[in-house]
């Protein structure tokens, strides 16, 4: 155990200042990846890290690494972090907490005058949410070697803006190569985003792993027509087809026990006019389950259900997979470190499994990795109402500090 204390007020204040960037009327944050707001959030973080004495590097996919030097600069770093981008109507803590907890650890170590042997990197990963470019965990994915840098830079949003152009525009197309250096260990702090910890009155979730997920873009082609003159029997209505498919994939989820979670979360209709029969509908599917075999099986069932509806309606169909994240088990040594730190700090804790995806899932493929959860109010997340208690955030940061210090000494 190291003798340093995180500062609860400072950690909370940092969250509240960060939450002003992209603040929504409903009390949340809307800060999509690689927008001007994302740039402002990154700039704020970089300024804070430089004030804390860190050296900041940016890689070619825009991941930001703020390094607190170790006494042995040739030693592989211990890394922590998360993301600053949010959902369109997101909260103040999802991702932000992991980044600011890392910064708070740096500040607390500085306050206590404690040097670690290994350097400490606090990371902001690019586009974790995937709300804008539709894939998610992008920066950590390229870092881990999943897909190529070129493919990621070429991805476009709905308006046709590419990741590469947007990175350059906001000044975060860094010069550093992506990944390819050893990491001694990675730890990520995050709000739970579910109801378990709060309902059991427990402060620390010792995260064992995370379920797998797949995302798809489904394009249903129909034919535009006049809403007043085209008889019902002659229509090829793309939106009606999409609606039937969305209902069918929901039923796929309920055919399995325990249920996978399947979501059609975004839809675009052409031409999106009240008196034109829709000629095209494009919607997304996000499917998740802890078991890779079930994930593959529901993929097949969803494709078959959509194909049958498309055929019956005379609607050409295209299904593209936009992401594939396997279920993850975190490193037993990292899990033990988190559990032991919580015990040593006298904090209530339990083992927990993550329903959400995290950058840590990608990092688990390149370094021993663990995660620390803290409760959030009523388990609400991806929602402007997302909330957490200052003392719980401080408890999570205190656990993070102990595990980072432990691994930075070894």
Question: Where are the extended beta strands (E) located within 249-389?
Answer: 261-263, 267-270, 276-277, 280-289, 317-325, 328-329, 349-354, 369-374
Interaction between residue 38 and Mn ion (CB under 5 A)? no
Beta carbons of 374 and 342 less than 8 angstroms apart: no
* Nearer residue to Mn ion within complex by CB, 83 or 339: 83
Task: With CA atoms as reference, report the closest residue to 286 among 322, 235, 312, 255.
Answer: 322
* Nearer residue to ligand GLV within complex by CB, 37 or 54: 37
* Nearer residue to Mn ion within complex by CB, 95 or 222: 95
3-state helix, strand, coil in the chain (%, to 5): 35, 25, 40
Residue 295 phi/psi, 5° resolution? -60, -40
Over the window 64 to 103, marking each residue x when it contacts Mn ion by CB under 5 A and - when it does not, the resulting string is: ------------------------------xx--------
Interaction between residue 386 and ligand GLV (CB under 6 A)? no
* Nearer residue to ligand GLV within complex by CB, 77 or 98: 98
Q: How far is the CB of 217 from ligand GLV (least distance, A)?
A: 16
* Nearer residue to ligand GLV within complex by CB, 136 or 368: 136
Exposed/middle/buried for residue 150 (C-beta within 10 Å: 0-12, 13-18, 19+): exposed
Interaction between residue 221 and Mn ion (CB under 5 A)? no
Say if strands 225-226 and 276-277 run parallel, antiparallel, or are unpaired: antiparallel
Of all residues in the shown chain, the one whose CB is closest to Mn ion is: 95
Task: Please work out the total of residues on this chain that contact ligand GLV, with binding judged by CB under 6 A.
Answer: 4
Measure the CA–CA gap between 185 and 192, rounded to whole angstroms. Answer: 21
350-369 positions binding ligand GLV, by CB under 6 A:
356-357
Exposed/middle/buried for residue 257 (C-beta within 10 Å: 0-12, 13-18, 19+): exposed
Interaction between residue 139 and ligand GLV (CB under 6 A)? no
Q: How far is the CB of 255 from Mn ion (least distance, A)?
A: 27
Q: How far is the CB of 355 from ligand GLV (least distance, A)?
A: 8
Interaction between residue 30 and Mn ion (CB under 5 A)? no
* Nearer residue to Mn ion within complex by CB, 116 or 213: 213
* Nearer residue to Mn ion within complex by CB, 95 or 102: 95
Size of the chain in residues: 410
Task: With CA atoms as reference, report the closest residue to 279 among 219, 228, 233, 319.
Answer: 219
Interaction between residue 328 and ligand GLV (CB under 6 A)? no
Provide the H-helix boundaries in 36-87.
Answer: 36-51
Q: At what angle do helices 238-255 and 292-313 cross, to 10 degrees?
A: 150
Q: How far is the CB of 95 from Mn ion (least distance, A)?
A: 4
Interaction between residue 129 and ligand GLV (CB under 6 A)? yes
Q: How far is the CB of 216 from ligand GLV (least distance, A)?
A: 14
Task: With CA atoms as reference, report the closest residue to 278 among 205, 223, 206, 197.
Answer: 223
Q: How far is the CB of 157 from Mn ion (least distance, A)?
A: 17
Interaction between residue 357 and Mn ion (CB under 5 A)? no
Which parts of this chain interact with Mn ion (CB under 5 A)? 94-95
Which parts of this chain interact with ligand GLV (CB under 6 A)? 129, 136, 356-357
């Amino acid at each position: 155990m190291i003798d340093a204390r995180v500062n609860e007020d400072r950690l909370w204040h940092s969250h509240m200042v960060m939450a002003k960037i992209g603040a929504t009327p409903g009390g949340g944050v809307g800060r999509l990846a690689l927008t001007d707001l994302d740039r402002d959030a990154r700039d704020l973080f970089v300024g804070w890290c430089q004030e804390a004495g860190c050296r900041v590097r940016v890689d070619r996919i825009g991941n930001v690494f703020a390094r607190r030097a170790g006494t042995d600069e040739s030693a592989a770093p211990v890394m922590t972090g998360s993301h600053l981008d949010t959902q369109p109507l997101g909260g103040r803590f999802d991702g932000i907490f992991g980044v600011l907890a890392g910064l708070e650890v740096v500040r607390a170590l500085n306050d206590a005058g404690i040097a670690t042997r290994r350097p400490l990197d606090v990371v902001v990963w690019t586009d974790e949410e995937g709300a804008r470019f539709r894939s998610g965990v992008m920066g950590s994915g390229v870092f881990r070697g999943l897909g190529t840098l070129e493919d990621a830079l070429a991805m476009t949003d709905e308006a046709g803006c590419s990741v590469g152009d947007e990175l350059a525009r906001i000044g975060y197309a860094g010069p550093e190569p992506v990944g390819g250096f050893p990491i001694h260990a990675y730890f990520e702090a995050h709000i739970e985003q579910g109801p378990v910890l709060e309902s059991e009155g427990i402060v620390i979730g010792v995260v064992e792993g995370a379920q797998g997920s797949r995302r798809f873009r489904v394009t249903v082609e129909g034919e535009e027509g006049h809403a007043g003159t085209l008889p019902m029997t002659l229509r090829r209505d793309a939106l009606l087809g999409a609606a039937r498919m969305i209902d069918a994939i929901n039923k796929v989820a309920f055919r399995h026990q325990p249920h996978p979670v399947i979501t059609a979360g975004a839809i675009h209709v052409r031409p999106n006019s009240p008196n034109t029969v829709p000629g095209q509908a494009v919607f997304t599917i996000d499917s998740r389950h802890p078991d890779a075999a079930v994930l593959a099986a529901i993929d097949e069932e969803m494709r078959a259900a959509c194909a049958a509806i498309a055929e019956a309606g005379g609607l050409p169909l295209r299904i593209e997979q936009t992401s594939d994240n396997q279920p993850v088990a975190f490193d037993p040594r990292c899990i033990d470190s988190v559990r032991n730190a919580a015990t040593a700090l006298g904090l209530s804790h339990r083992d927990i499994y993550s329903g959400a995806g995290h950058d840590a899932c990608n990092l688990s493929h390149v370094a021993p990795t663990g995660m620390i959860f803290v409760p959030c109010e009523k388990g609400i997340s991806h929602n402007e109402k997302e909330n957490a208690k200052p003392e719980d955030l401080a408890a999570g940061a205190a656990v993070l500090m102990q595990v980072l210090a432990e691994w930075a000494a070894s």
